């Protein structure tokens, strides 16, 4: 089926690509992989091979979650069902696969103060899948702009599932390049990391231009 709601606690076929078998060349260091990966906004029409898709999903299955409750639920949309994605988000950019990353509010861990950690679980799952895709040469984009009521209606997403984000996946076009302003722009570590106390945390301008 082209649409599958996957609780990432599944067994894959024996011929599925594993994380270590997926590349002929030795894998690069993780820091190099992180530096190389960028948000892809131009995809060609090539589908993602089933064995590579399985490897990406396996990376998500292995992700740590709060108290190991594993509340993640991943809706894989591809093939002819991508038609249903039209109008749900302006940020698909011709990709052949979209994963709707959700978590089950009835199964996610809650702290004693009542905080639901499911969104954190979903973000970790999504990040691991994103970097596994990069290692396999597949581009990705995490999307937070979508019409939730339309997604729920078209893909029968129940109310107990909270949508974290969309993970857009596919092969980048030959002329696709990292965003010139955003990709390499990172604050120095001194602005984001503090030791012992936030006592001297500087005040910053919180107003941001919409993108």
SS (H, E, C) the chain: CCEEEEECCCCCCCCCCCCCCCCCCCCCCHHHHHHHCCECCCECCCCCCHHHHHHHHHHHHCCCCHHHCCCEEEEEEEHHHHHHHCCCCCCCCCCCEEEEEEEECCCCCECCCCCECHHHHHHHHHHHHHHHHHHCCCEEEEECCCCHHHHHHHHCCCCCEEEEEEEEEECECCCCCCCCCCCCCCCCHHHHCCCCCCCCCCCCCCCCCCC
112-161 pLDDT per residue, tens: 999 999 999 999 999 999 999 999 999 999 999 999 999 999 999 999 99
Model confidence band, residue 81 (pLDDT cutoffs 50, 70, 90) = very high
44-76 pLDDT per residue, tens: 999 999 999 999 999 999 999 999 999 999 999
pTM: 0.83
């Amino acid at each position: 089926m082209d649409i599958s709601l996957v609780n990432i606690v599944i067994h894959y076929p024996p011929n599925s690509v594993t994380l270590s078998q997926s590349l002929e060349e030795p894998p690069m260091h993780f820091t190099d992989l992180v530096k190389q990966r960028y948000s892809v906004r131009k995809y060609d029409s090539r589908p993602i091979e089933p064995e590579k898709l399985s490897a990406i999903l396996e990376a998500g299955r292995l992700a740590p979650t709060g108290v190991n409750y594993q509340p993640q639920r991943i809706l894989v949309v591809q093939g002819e069902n991508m038609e249903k994605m039209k109008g749900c988000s302006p940020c698909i950019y011709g990709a052949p696969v979209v994963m709707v990353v959700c978590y089950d509010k009835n199964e996610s861990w809650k702290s004693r103060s009542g905080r639901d950690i499911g969104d954190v679980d979903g973000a970790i799952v999504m990040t691991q899948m994103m970097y596994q895709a990069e290692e396999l040469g597949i581009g990705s984009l995490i999307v937070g702009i979508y019409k939730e009521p339309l997604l729920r209606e078209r893909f029968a997403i129940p109310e107990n599932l909270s949508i974290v984000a969309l993970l857009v996946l596919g092969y980048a076009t030959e002329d696709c390049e990292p965003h010139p302003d955003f990709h390499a722009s990172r604050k120095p570590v001194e602005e984001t990391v503090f030791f012992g106390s936030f006592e001297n945390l500087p005040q910053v301008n919180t107003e941001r231009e919409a993108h």
